[in-house]
Amino acid sequence: MPLPPPVSLDVRSGAPNDYWRARVEQHFHDTYAGVQMTKFPEDLRTYEHLLWESAANVVIEFGSYGGGSVLWFRDRLDAMVRHGRIRDPLVISVDIDAAATRANVRDQRGVEILEADLLDPALPAQIRTLLPGDARPFIVEDSAHEYDTTRAALTGFADLVAVGGFFVVEDGCVDIEPLRLDPSWPRGVLPALRDWLDTPQGRRFAVRRDLEIYGLSCHPGGFLQRVA
């Protein structure tokens, strides 16, 4: 898939860029189908490309917030069904507190909502029982944005991604000082990702910085493609 080179936000100055601050504030008030969804549209547009390219028929999302992204992913998979790209779509949404997601996703057709902790060692086996035999998962890690949860998501679930498929580690921006707008933000996403990439499991994935193509991304270094 030929893509243009990324256009990066200039974060070389010591203070957060005003444009970045405004976009983050907007991001926290955005919605999809009337439900809050805290994802940049630039990243969602990239997701559309990756879902189509990999013919993913399952989305596994860790961290669903209020459920807006559950609806968005289900609608994208449904569109791929209409275009004949996939069959039998499924969104699996995992959150440590799934009450808001269950309340906002009233029609749960094609959706499995799990209330679970990413650090639970039984979770990978539980999710595997939900997958169809022809599952081609696209995985999004958007949970606590801390070292332990990021590492647990990668270690526990990266093997589900087929060669050519994608795993996205969201919000590595929390570890980039000029992009940290609040000292209460968590840390640990990028250190966990770097450490995991240095393992035998991680070396089966390539970091695709070229996919940060729309000028702004919350996920620097977080677009991973399985290559072996």
Split into its structural domains, the chain has a count of 1
Question: Integer distance in angstroms from the first to the last C-alpha of the chain?
Answer: 18
Residue 17 lies in a domain: no
Going from the C-alpha of 33 to that of each of 57, 72, 103, 109, 122, the distances in angstroms are 21, 8, 14, 16, 33
Which residue range(s) make up the domain with 126? Answer: 39-226
Place of tokens 């270690």: 155
Residue 86 lies in a domain: yes
Residue 178 lies in a domain: yes
Residue 49 lies in a domain: yes
Mean pLDDT in residue range 161-183: 95
Residue 135 lies in a domain: yes
CATH for 92? 3.40.50.150
The pLDDT confidence band at residue 27, using thresholds 50, 70 and 90, is confident
pLDDT single digits (tens) 99-140: 999 999 999 999 999 999 999 999 999 999 999 999 999 999
Question: Is 98:115 a contact under the CB 8 Å cutoff?
Answer: yes
Residue 23 lies in a domain: no
The separation between CA 215 and the C-alpha centre of its own chain, rounded to angstroms, equals 18
Residue 13 lies in a domain: no
- Its pTM stands at 0.92
Residue 10 lies in a domain: no
Going from the C-alpha of 155 to that of each of 164, 192, 199, 200, the distances in angstroms are 18, 10, 10, 11
The pLDDT confidence band at residue 215, using thresholds 50, 70 and 90, is confident
